[in-house]
């Protein structure tokens, strides 16, 4: 702690014969700098770890939602139905995500606007909700270029490929639980 005087410097004409001392401090500054650096590094690691933990949690919840939705394959479409036993498109994804522990709004438009994390077509991950047909239809991405959905009256819950029609009528996507 405190200053330590170095031995006097050699005579230098620029100092007019005055004694010049070099003053250095002990490890206090170095320790403080190291502590600040360690704290900053810990904060970065903590943020990275937190981000990774949140991503892992979302992935786990998405897998659960997909599993729940797949168990509904074959159930009939019924307008306004939220299951179990029959679903409309938004009712199916709401049911699946609720069973996974994530509450999302009821209708397609409220799901699209109410789920915070927006996703582009090129960044879809399993569990993401895909909105097509002017926003009037929603399905859940299951990976491999496919989605599960309850398509329309007279149809049943099924998995379909994300074909050109769906890409061309794509309005947006969201990631529940993120």
SS3 label, residue 46? helix
Q: Give the CATH number of the domain where residue 160 resides.
A: 3.90.1720.10
| Separation between Cα atoms, residue 140 and residue 132, nearest integer Å | 11
Which pLDDT score, from 0 to 100, does residue 18 have?
A: 43
Which pLDDT score, from 0 to 100, does residue 47 have?
A: 75
Which pLDDT score, from 0 to 100, does residue 48 have?
A: 80
Q: How many CB atoms lie within 10 A of CB 49?
A: 11
Q: Tokens 């994390």 — which residue?
A: 117
Which pLDDT score, from 0 to 100, does residue 33 have?
A: 61
Residue 107 inside a domain? The answer is: yes
- Cα dist. 48→36, 44, 51, 54 in Å? 18, 6, 5, 10
Residue 11 inside a domain? The answer is: no
Residue 127 inside a domain? The answer is: yes
Which pLDDT score, from 0 to 100, does residue 43 have?
A: 62
Across the 178 residues of the chain, what is the mean pLDDT of every consecutive 10-residue run? 46 45 46 61 72 91 98 98 96 98 96 96 97 95 97 97 95 96
**Which among 71, 74, 77 has a CA at the least distance from the CA of 89?**
77
Number of residues written out for the chain: 178
Q: Which domain holds residue 158?
A: 46-174
| Separation between Cα atoms, residue 149 and residue 175, nearest integer Å | 16
Residues near 79 by beta carbon (within 8 Å), at least 6 away in sequence: 88, 153
Residue 92 inside a domain? The answer is: yes
Supply the pTM of this predicted model. 0.74
Active-site residue list: 89, 137, 149
CA 14 to chain centre: 63
Give me the number of domains the chain comprises.
Answer: 1
Which pLDDT score, from 0 to 100, does residue 1 have?
A: 46
SS3 label, residue 21? coil
Residue 64 inside a domain? The answer is: yes
CA 177 to chain centre: 8
Which pLDDT score, from 0 to 100, does residue 39 have?
A: 65
- Cα dist. 164→99, 112, 159, 168, 170 in Å? 31, 21, 16, 6, 10
Residue 155 inside a domain? The answer is: yes
């Amino acid at each position: 702690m405190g200053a330590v005087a170095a031995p006097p410097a050699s005579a230098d004409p620029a100092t007019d014969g005055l004694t010049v001392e070099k003053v250095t401090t002990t490890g206090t500054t170095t320790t403080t700098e190291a502590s600040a650096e360690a704290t900053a590094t810990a904060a970065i690691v903590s943020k990275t770890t937190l981000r990774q933990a949140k991503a892992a949690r979302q992935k786990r919840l998405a897998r659960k939602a997909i599993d729940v939705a797949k168990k509904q394959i074959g159930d009939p479409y019924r307008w306004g139905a939220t299951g179990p036993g029959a679903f409309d498109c938004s009712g199916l994804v709401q049911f699946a995500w609720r069973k996974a522990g994530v509450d999302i709004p009821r209708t397609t438009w409220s799901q699209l606007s109410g789920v915070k994390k927006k996703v582009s077509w090129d960044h879809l991950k399993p569990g993401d909700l895909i909105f097509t047909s002017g926003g009037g239809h929603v399905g859940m991405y299951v990976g491999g270029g496919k989605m599960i959905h309850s398509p329309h009256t007279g149809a049943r819950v099924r998995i379909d490929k994300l074909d050109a029609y769906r890409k061309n009528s794509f309005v947006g996507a969201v990631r529940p639980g993120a």
